[in-house]
Copies of this chain bind each other. A is one copy, B any other.
């Protein structure tokens, strides 16, 4: 079954939309947040726990899996689904973001990017064609085109050249992507924070005709208002009948503000990363559960949460686990943060259904301490 987006309803208060994304491994209610499983595992979580927190799709990273254990091994194991025993949808990024983050370790040309492995310094060369081959081997339901993610800030001149190359690479991706209907190729809109470039990138990306479109190059250090401004003029260039994915965004405020601007999909390592460091998201804002002030606090992390951690353990216990370096500490905070975001996305969808997402935003920001 090919990947297909169904638009169910638009919010009358905002630009948000309620939808469903159909994939070979199941249906995803949108807007959705995708937990990140960089190395074929969402850090600290088992697949059973991911289902328990309600994850309908996860993301995995092509660069990391290519480096270790290698895409051919994953293919032998029956693709990522078989390898990690996750039978729901998966999206793989293209490795572009990671490769461009290597800084001194990479060299860009029209053909592709030469880079050195962060593990052993060995040399590798990613081209759009090779990335398609790797993503095919990994076997995700949705695969991302190979793009250049420009840093912030970025000169207009470089952003323009890079955006144009990303379009040329997208065409090469599409040509080499043997669409069997099992994998949907999404294109990525770039153009830094320049309106002219973003609009040109969006129009030319849409011309390639793909089952979905992402907005990349945001959440890379620019102020939040600027990100929202870019979304304000970029999203209207994207077709209504295709899913829209804002890459690398996962803070509660940005998930709400992105949804309001018509985004359907989000991903970010933030909730799992801060969890392992002892910070959790709650209905009343961030809580640094590892702080001394919680050492004798026997309340759950979030009294309004229904996750395994909040149903069973106190802040004092979780703080003890984290201070003592115990694995269960990071497990419980991770379960909570991911469940918190699943619940938040559910509330966003409910608010869209009831034409009150703007009101929900105002209320949430007040409680959340914004």
Q: Mark A21-57, 1 if CB is under 8 A from B, else 0.
A: 0000000000000000001110111111000000000
Q: Which residues, 314 to 346 on A, are CB-close (under 8 Å) to B?
A: 314, 316-317, 320-321, 323-324, 326-328, 330-332
Let me know if A327 and B324 touch, CB within 8 A.
no
Bound together, the chains give a CA A83 to CA B316 distance in angstroms of: 8
Let me know if B46 and A316 touch, CB within 8 A.
no
Neighbouring B residues of A44 by C-beta, 8 Å: 327-328
Q: Which residue of B lies closest to A83 (CB)?
A: B317
Neighbouring B residues of A308 by C-beta, 8 Å: 46, 48
Bound together, the chains give a CA A40 to CA B331 distance in angstroms of: 15
Neighbouring B residues of A41 by C-beta, 8 Å: 321, 326-328
Q: Which residues, 111 to 141 on A, are CB-close (under 8 Å) to B?
A: none
Let me know if B47 and A324 touch, CB within 8 A.
no
A109 at the interface (CB under 8 A from B): no
A194 at the interface (CB under 8 A from B): no
Shortest CB distance A117–B (Å): 13
- Known contacts: A296-B73, A331-B327. The answer to whether A47 contacts B312 by CB under 8 A is yes
Let me know if A328 and B45 touch, CB within 8 A.
yes
Let me know if A39 and B324 touch, CB within 8 A.
yes
A295 at the interface (CB under 8 A from B): yes
Bound together, the chains give a CA A295 to CA B68 distance in angstroms of: 11
A251 at the interface (CB under 8 A from B): no
B43, B77, B323, B328: the one contacting A326 at CB < 8 Å is B43
Shortest CB distance A180–B (Å): 24
29 contacts between A and B (CB under 8 A): A39-B321, A39-B326, A40-B320, A40-B321, A41-B321, A41-B327, A43-B327, A43-B328, A44-B328, A45-B328, A46-B308, A46-B328, A46-B331, A47-B312, A48-B308, A68-B323, A69-B295, A69-B323, A73-B316, A76-B298, A77-B298, A83-B314, A83-B316, A83-B317, A83-B320, A85-B312, A85-B313, A85-B317, A327-B331
